[in-house]
């Protein structure tokens, strides 16, 4: 069982509001910001450190516009020009037309549901006309509630609570409405040969490291999170996803599995800091399907818990690595923002 500290949770929520500044952003034509891609960043290794050599199409030079956009609560990656894993181009949605309350008769979004979803895998809903989902509630084992509150349902389809995306249908997402994920952020301090904490030369703050995976679907570095299975407790998803993606528990020997399992269980039973809970600005989002997550930080303060275990990529992860927590490292969806919250909480370099 994961124990969340209520106080920390609220601090996290307040910080979330305060620290929605300084995230990367793309310069486009005035008032319009569509071309965020899920393109691969090319991390280069420097010793034990991986650094991103590019920011996808994001530049930090126009932080003020990004700040304006984010402080208005606007999603950006959910409006990326090209829908990931397809040739689908989103109907361009300018900032001032994101909100559903803006009347926009010209809005003509592209309808897209990926072939992999249309094949009706067990993790996906059927087509909307062939079943009767109960939205805004727990529907059988499927959680169709949103952390964002009650969402609208129009003509039988749920509406993205953050507004228009330029695509209808489910795209790559399995569920109509919210698709729930969980993100375990495992951290340790970066130490030198004498096991002393390494401080960053600019910020003078100690450097945190976190377990990062390279996603197979889009090639971007990410937190080793995953989808909450129907009826599954989030605390279980956090541990299961970490085990599958970073420890490759699926292909380890029985002895290794037992050792890994014990250490991970101990850490995941420790007090976790709930970093974020809510909507994720994910490039897979559509007008009718979107990602939400609970991100929790588990910290190995002494470095003798999971820090010592050999990481091994598995499941949806192509690579796995301890990575320095640093604002210059580009990450999937809103993951960089989660790490900024962790760094702030732990008074670490960002």
Interacting residues toward ligand BGC by CB under 6 A? 181, 183, 222-223, 225-226, 280, 282, 291, 293, 333
**Smaller CB distance to ligand BGC: residue 206 or 331?**
331
Residue 225 Cβ, how far from ligand BGC at the closest point, in Å? 3
CA distance 277 to 13: 8
**Smaller CB distance to ligand BGC: residue 84 or 226?**
226
**Smaller CB distance to ligand BGC: residue 94 or 230?**
230
Distances (CA, A) of 323 to 10, 188, 215, 223: 27, 10, 15, 11
CA distance 286 to 124: 15
Other C-beta atoms closer than 10 Å to the C-beta of 266 total 11
Residue 333 Cβ, how far from ligand BGC at the closest point, in Å? 4
User: Are 95 and 56 in contact, with CB atoms under 8 Å apart?
Assistant: no
The SS3 assignment for 162 reads coil
**Smaller CB distance to ligand BGC: residue 183 or 326?**
183
Residue 214 Cβ, how far from ligand BGC at the closest point, in Å? 12
Residue 135 Cβ, how far from ligand BGC at the closest point, in Å? 20
**Smaller CB distance to ligand BGC: residue 38 or 267?**
38
Instruction: At 201, list the tokens.
Output: 């030369």
User: Of 343, 91, 114, 108, which is closest to residue 210 (Cα–Cα)?
Assistant: 343
Instruction: At 74, list the tokens.
Output: 């606007």
Residues pairing with 206 in the sheet: 199
User: Are 316 and 306 in contact, with CB atoms under 8 Å apart?
Assistant: no
**Smaller CB distance to ligand BGC: residue 66 or 332?**
332
Residue 193 Cβ, how far from ligand BGC at the closest point, in Å? 33
Residue 284 Cβ, how far from ligand BGC at the closest point, in Å? 7
Instruction: At 226, list the tokens.
Output: 């995953």
Nearest residue by C-beta to ligand BGC? 225
């Amino acid at each position: 069982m994961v124990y969340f500290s209520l106080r920390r949770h609220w601090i996290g929520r307040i910080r979330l509001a305060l620290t929605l500044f300084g995230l990367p952003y793309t310069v486009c034509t005035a008032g319009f910001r569509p071309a965020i891609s899920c393109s691969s960043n090319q991390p280069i290794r420097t010793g034990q450190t991986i650094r991103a050599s590019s920011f996808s199409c994001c530049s930090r030079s126009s932080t003020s516009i990004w700040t304006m956009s984010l402080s208005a609560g606007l999603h950006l990656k959910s409006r990326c020009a090209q829908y990931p894993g397809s040739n689908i181009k989103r109907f361009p949605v300018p900032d001032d037309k994101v909100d559903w309350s803006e009347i926009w008769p010209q809005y003509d979004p592209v309808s897209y549901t990926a072939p992999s979803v249309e094949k009706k895998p067990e993790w996906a809903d059927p087509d909307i006309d062939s079943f009767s989902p109960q939205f805004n509630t727990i529907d059988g084992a499927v959680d169709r509630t949103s952390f964002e509150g009650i969402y609208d349902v129009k003509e039988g389809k749920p509406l993205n609570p953050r507004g228009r995306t330029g695509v209808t249908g489910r795209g790559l997402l399995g569920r109509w409405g919210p698709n729930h994920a969980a993100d375990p952020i495992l951290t340790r301090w970066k130490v030198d040969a004498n096991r002393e904490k390494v401080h960053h030369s600019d910020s003078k703050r100690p450097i945190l490291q976190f377990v990062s995976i390279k996603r197979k679907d889009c090639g971007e570095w990410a937190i080793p999170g995953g989808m909450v299975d129907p009826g599954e407790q989030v605390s279980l998803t956090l541990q299961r996803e970490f085990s599958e993606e970073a420890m490759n528990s699926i292909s380890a020997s029985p002895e290794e599995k037992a050792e890994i399992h014990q250490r991970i269980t101990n850490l995941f039973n420790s007090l976790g800091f709930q970093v974020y809970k809510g909507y994720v600005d994910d490039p897979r989002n559509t007008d009718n399907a979107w990602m939400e997550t609970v991100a929790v930080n588990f910290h190995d303060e002494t470095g003798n818990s999971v820090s010592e275990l050999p990481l091994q990529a598995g499941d949806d992860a192509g690579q796995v690595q301890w990575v320095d927590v640093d604002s210059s490292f580009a990450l999937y969806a809103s993951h960089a923002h989660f790490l900024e919250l962790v760094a702030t909480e732990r008074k670490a370099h960002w």
